[in-house]
Structure 1
C-alpha cells in the first residue's frame, strides 16, 4: 500500500520501527494542530511550543492509541486540548518569571512555523539525539527534562538544585541553540 494511503492508525503502529511513518502522520496533522493552538492561545510562540509538546506526547504514547475507541485525529485533538490547558495553567507563572529575568518572548516568523514542519523530515530519533547531544550538558539536561520528558520547571529545578528561573533560562538557551542548528547555513533571521 502506498505510504500516502496508510491510515493514521497504521502510521502510528509503524512509527515504532519506521521513523518516516511518524513523519507522515506529523505532516498530515501539524497544520491544523498549529492552527488550533494559535486560535486558542493567541500567541505564536506558545502555539508552536504546544504543538511540539502535542506531537512529542503522541510519539511517546503512540502505543496507547486504540482505534476501537475513536479516530487518531480525535485522539490527537484531545492531546492538543490537554496540552493547551496545561500551557494556560503554567503560562502566567512562566511569563512572570521571564519578565523577572528580562528574557523577551521569542517572536516566530512564518519561516519559523515552516521549520516546525521540517522537523518531521529529520531522518529519525538519532538526528534529534545528536542535536541534543551537541548542547552543553546543562542545557541538554534541562531541554530533555522539559521537552522530552514533559516535566515541570519546579520538578526539574529541585532535581538540579537550581531555581525554576534558572531552569527556564537553560531550556530557552538550549531551544534557541537547537533552532539555530536547524536553520540552513546562511539562513540568519
Structure 2
C-alpha cells in the first residue's frame, strides 16, 4: 500500500477516483475531526457516528466535484457534515410532528421501557402474558412480538380494528400495572 502521509488533502481527493486507498487515507486523517464536530452538536455518540458515516459516504460520492480552488478540502468535508446534521435535525422535526400527530410515544420513552423489560430478570414474556386475559395476551403477542398491523390483528382476531386496538391498549395497561407492582 502506498504511503499517503505526505500528500495534501486536495491531492488525496484528486487521486481518489483512480485509487481508493487515497480516500482511505483522507478518511483516517479526518475521521476524528468530523466525529468531534458532530458529537458536539448531537444528542448521542451513536447519532454522531451515523452522521459521520453519512458524511464520508457523501464525500466519496461527490469527490469528482470537489475543486481545490473553492477552498480547503477540510472545509468542504465539514460543509458536508453540517449539511448531514441539518438534514438529520429536519428529519427529526418531521418525525416528531408525525409522532405527535399519531399520538405515539417518544423514542426515549420506548428506550426506557425496553430497559425496564431487560431488568425483569427471570420473568419471561410468556409469564407476563399468562397474567392477562386471553384476548389481550393474544393481541399483544400478535401486535408487539409478531409486529402485525392493526388491520392484520383485527382480521386474525375476527374483530374490528378499534376492538383490536382496545385489546392491545388494555393488555399494555395491565402489564404496566403488573410491572409497577413488581417494582414496589
TM-score normalized with structure 2 length: 0.51
The equivalent of 2:88 in structure 1 is 87
1:57-110 Cα shifts (integer Å, max 9, x gaps):
1000001111111100111111111111001000244464995899759xxxxx
The equivalent of 2:142 in structure 1 is none
CA distance in 1 between counterparts of 2:7 and 2:57 reads: 21
- Calculate the aligned-residue CA RMSD, in Å: 2.6
The equivalent of 1:38 in structure 2 is 39
The equivalent of 2:5 in structure 1 is 4
The equivalent of 2:23 in structure 1 is 22
Show structure 1 runs of 5+ residues with no match: 106-189
The number of aligned residues is 105
CA distance in 2 between counterparts of 1:99 and 1:15 reads: 45
Q: How does 1:134-153 map to 2 (within 5 A)?
A: none
* Per-residue deviation, 1:39: 0.5
CA distance in 1 between counterparts of 2:41 and 2:11 reads: 29
CA distance in 2 between counterparts of 1:94 and 1:23 reads: 34
Task: Determine which structure has more spread, i.e. the larger CA radius of gyration.
Answer: 2
Secondary structure of the 1:16 match is coil
TM-score normalized with structure 1 length: 0.49
CA distance in 1 between counterparts of 2:47 and 2:20 reads: 26
Moved over 2 A (4+): 92-105
The equivalent of 2:67 in structure 1 is 66
